[in-house]
């Protein structure tokens, strides 16, 4: 399933909270330049697994290396991104994004006792489930069962998925004091909040003419502080992140074959077609024209 991203990279998780609040993804990396996904966040929890390659899963300012077979649990509303760092083909990287209401309704005893404490645990942004840790074998089996049910739907699949998610949360709750904690000081937390505000602005206004000052103003910081925040978390400048986001949207639009290259250039906020072509080729290794022809 391709990455489903709106202009804020955080609210297009295609599940219905009132019916079945979980979504399954795979083969996302092959649609992204350099097999690297953008920084984003969403209210739901996320579980992802490296299948064949080595992945750098960045959560906040922490880098977690996933080897083949390793899985990661990411808490809700936490900034994260993914980049493949080994392997000759893009990793399938199966993953699910889901609401705690999959286990029990919000406000219920189960939700308040077992889900809310994890959501509110700021010093537990992620949990690594290593494949070579035998004590985690049961959890990794639960995760694989979830993927299997999505890949091979059968009668009662939804109930099996819900049961496995519940097993995972039972394990986390029962061992919550055993997991490594990552306490962020006040400065780090403030920087993350500022970065989210600035990313929100970029993802919402990428079609417009945007300056570094505009981005900094969105985070209520100076231009130099904006640059520091982006450098710390993303190792890029604010303008580089803006261009990368525009190119990702443009690549998606090219694959849909609805608009001309000129129209895509304009819709994505580039000030000229030639500049768009130059940036696109630098990022993807082919021209927009060839991408349009290939449909990818």
> Which position has the higher pLDDT, 180 or 183?
180
* Residue at a domain's end among 129, 156, 178: 178
> Which position has the higher pLDDT, 82 or 14?
82
11 occurs within a structural domain: no
Domain tally for the chain?
A: 2
Provide mean pLDDT across the span 90-110. 96
pLDDT of residue 252: 87
Residue 36: φ, ψ to 5°: -135, 125
What is the rounded CA–CA span in Å between residue 94 and residue 23? Answer: 11
pLDDT of residue 40: 87
Q: Are 170 and 211 found together in one domain?
A: no
* Residue at a domain's end among 131, 160, 178: 178
Q: Are 73 and 123 found together in one domain?
A: yes
pLDDT of residue 7: 38
CATH number at 138 reads: 2.60.120.10
- Say yes or no to pLDDT of 79 above 60: yes
- Say yes or no to pLDDT of 47 above 90: yes
CATH number at 230 reads: 1.10.10.60
Nearest to 48 by CA among 75, 23, 73: 73
Domain range enclosing 146: 22-178
Question: What percent of the chain is modeled with pLDDT above 90?
Answer: 72
2 occurs within a structural domain: no
Q: Are 49 and 160 found together in one domain?
A: yes
Nearest to 252 by CA among 281, 279, 288: 288
- How do residues 191-224 score in pLDDT, each as one tens digit? 888 998 999 999 999 999 999 999 999 999 999 9
For 259, half-sphere exposure in the C-beta direction (CA atoms, 13 angstrom radius) is 15
- Say yes or no to pLDDT of 189 above 80: no
- Say yes or no to pLDDT of 92 above 80: yes
Q: Are 77 and 203 found together in one domain?
A: no
What is the rounded CA–CA span in Å between residue 193 and residue 51? Answer: 32
Q: Are 138 and 158 found together in one domain?
A: yes
pLDDT of residue 4: 36
Q: Are 36 and 142 found together in one domain?
A: yes
Provide mean pLDDT across the span 241-252. 92
- Say yes or no to pLDDT of 296 above 80: no
pTM (global) more than 0.85: no
Strand-pair partners of 57 = 64, 82
**Burial class, 285, CB count within 10 angstroms (exposed 0-12 / middle 13-18 / buried 19+):** exposed
17 occurs within a structural domain: no
pLDDT band at 37 (very low <50, low <70, confident <90, very high): confident
Provide mean pLDDT across the span 152-162. 96
Q: Are 159 and 224 found together in one domain?
A: no
Q: Are 193 and 274 found together in one domain?
A: yes
pLDDT of residue 185: 62
Q: Is residue 72 within 8 Å of 34, Cβ to Cβ?
A: no
59 occurs within a structural domain: yes
266 occurs within a structural domain: yes
Q: Are 121 and 229 found together in one domain?
A: no
270 occurs within a structural domain: yes
* Residue at a domain's end among 178, 206, 239: 178
Q: Are 172 and 200 found together in one domain?
A: no
pLDDT of residue 33: 77
Tokens of 64: 């977690």
CB atoms within 10 A of CB 184: 16
What is the rounded CA–CA span in Å between residue 31 and residue 9? Answer: 16
Region of 129 (left: φ > 0; alpha: ψ -120 to 50; beta: rest) is beta
- Say yes or no to pLDDT of 155 above 80: yes
pLDDT of residue 122: 85
173 occurs within a structural domain: yes
Nearest to 22 by CA among 152, 155, 159: 159
Average pLDDT, the chain: 89
Provide mean pLDDT across the span 102-114. 95
52 occurs within a structural domain: yes
Q: Are 158 and 190 found together in one domain?
A: no
Q: Are 192 and 164 found together in one domain?
A: no
Residue 59: φ, ψ to 5°: -120, 110
- How do residues 1-33 score in pLDDT, each as one tens digit? 233 334 344 444 455 555 899 999 999 898 887
Angle at 22 between CA 166 and CA 155, to 5 degrees: 75
pLDDT of residue 182: 87
Residue 115: φ, ψ to 5°: -95, -50
pLDDT band at 34 (very low <50, low <70, confident <90, very high): confident
């Amino acid at each position: 399933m391709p990455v489903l991203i709106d202009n804020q990279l955080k609210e297009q998780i295609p599940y219905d909270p009132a019916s079945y609040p979980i979504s399954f993804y795979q083969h996302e990396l092959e649609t992204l330049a350099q097999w690297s996904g953008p920084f984003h966040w969403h209210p739901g929890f996320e579980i992802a697994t490296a299948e064949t390659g080595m992945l750098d899963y960045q959560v906040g300012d922490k880098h977690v290396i996933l080897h083949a077979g390793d899985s990661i649990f990411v808490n809700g509303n936490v900034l994260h991104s993914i980049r493949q760092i080994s392997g000759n083909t893009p990793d399938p990287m199966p993953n699910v994004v889901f609401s705690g209401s999959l286990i029990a309704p919000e406000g219920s005893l189960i939700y308040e006792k077992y889900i809310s404490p994890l959501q509110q645990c700021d010093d537990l942004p992620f949990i690594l489930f290593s494949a070579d840790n035998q004590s985690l074998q049961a959890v990794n089996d639960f995760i694989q069962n979830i993927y299997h049910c999505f890949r091979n739907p059968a009668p009662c699949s939804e109930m099996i998925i819900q049961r496995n998610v519940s097993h995972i949360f039972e394990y986390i709750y029962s061992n919550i004091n055993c997991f490594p904690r990552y306490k962020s000081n006040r400065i780090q937390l403030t920087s993350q909040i500022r970065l989210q505000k600035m990313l929100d602005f970029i993802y919402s206004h990428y079609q417009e003419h945007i300056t570094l000052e505009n981005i900094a103003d969105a985070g209520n910081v100076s231009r130099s502080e904006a640059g520091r925040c982006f450098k710390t978390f993303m190792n890029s400048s604010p303008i580089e992140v803006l261009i990368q986001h525009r190119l990702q949207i443009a690549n998606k639009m090219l694959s849909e074959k609805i608009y001309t290259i000129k129209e895509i250039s304009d819709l994505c906020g580039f000030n000229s077609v030639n500049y768009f072509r130059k940036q696109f080729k630098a990022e993807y290794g082919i021209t927009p024209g060839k991408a349009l022809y290939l449909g990818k």
